[in-house]
Amino acid sequence: MFYSFVVPTFNRPEEVAELLESATQLTLPNQDSFKGFEIVFADGSPTEVLKPIIEAYADKIKLLHLHRPKLAISPSRNLGAENAKGDYLIFLDSDVILPSGYLIAIHNAVVKNQPACFGGPDAAHKNFTNLQKAISYSMTSYFTTGGIRGGKKQIHKYNPRGFNMGIKKAVFEEVNGYGSFVCGEDIELSIRIIKAGYKTQLIPEAYVYHKRRNTLPSFFRQVKRFGAARVNIFYRHRSELKVTHLFPSAFFLFLVFGFLSYFIYDPVFELFTLIITIYLTPIFLNAWLQNRSITVGGLSIITSITQLCGYGIGFLLNFFAVFILGQKEGMELGASK
What percent of the residues of the chain are helix, what percent strand, and what percent coil, each to the nearest 5? 50, 15, 35
Q: State the DSSP H helix or E strand holding residue 278, giving kind and residue range, or none if neither.
A: helix 266-291
Q: How far apart are CA 101 and CA 87, in angstroms?
A: 20
Closest CA relative to residue 244, chosen from 151, 119, 123: 151
**pLDDT tens digits, residue range 201-214?**
999 999 999 987 78
156 has a pLDDT exceeding 50: no
| CA 333 to each of CA 11, 72, 106, 196, 219: distance values in angstroms, whole numbers, following the listed order | 22, 15, 34, 28, 15
Q: How far apart are CA 230 and CA 185, in angstroms?
A: 10
Q: Where are the alpha helices (DSSP H) in 154-200?
A: 169-174, 185-195
303 has a pLDDT exceeding 50: yes
2 has a pLDDT exceeding 50: yes
Instruction: Write the DSSP symbol of residue 239.
Output: T
Question: How many separate helices (H) and strands (E) can be counted in the chain?
Answer: 12, 10
pLDDT at 150: 47
**pLDDT tens digits, residue range 157-192?**
678 888 999 999 999 999 999 988 888 899 999 999
pLDDT at 134: 96
What number is the average pLDDT over the span 230-258? 91
155 has a pLDDT exceeding 80: no
- pLDDT more than 70, % of the chain: 93
User: pTM of this prediction?
Assistant: 0.89
259 has a pLDDT exceeding 50: yes
- All structural domains of the chain with their residue ranges: 2-214, 219-324
pLDDT at 147: 58
pLDDT at 243: 84
Considering the segment(s) 2-214 as one domain, its CATH architecture is: Alpha-Beta Complex (3.90)
331 has a pLDDT exceeding 50: no
What number is the average pLDDT over the span 239-264? 93
**pLDDT tens digits, residue range 27-66?**
999 999 999 999 999 999 999 999 999 999 999 999 999 9
153 or 181, greater pLDDT: 181
What number is the average pLDDT over the span 318-327? 89
CA angle (39 as vertex; 37, 41 as ends), nearest 5: 165
Question: Which range (40-49, 55-64, 136-145, 300-309) has the least confidence?
Answer: 136-145
pLDDT at 288: 97
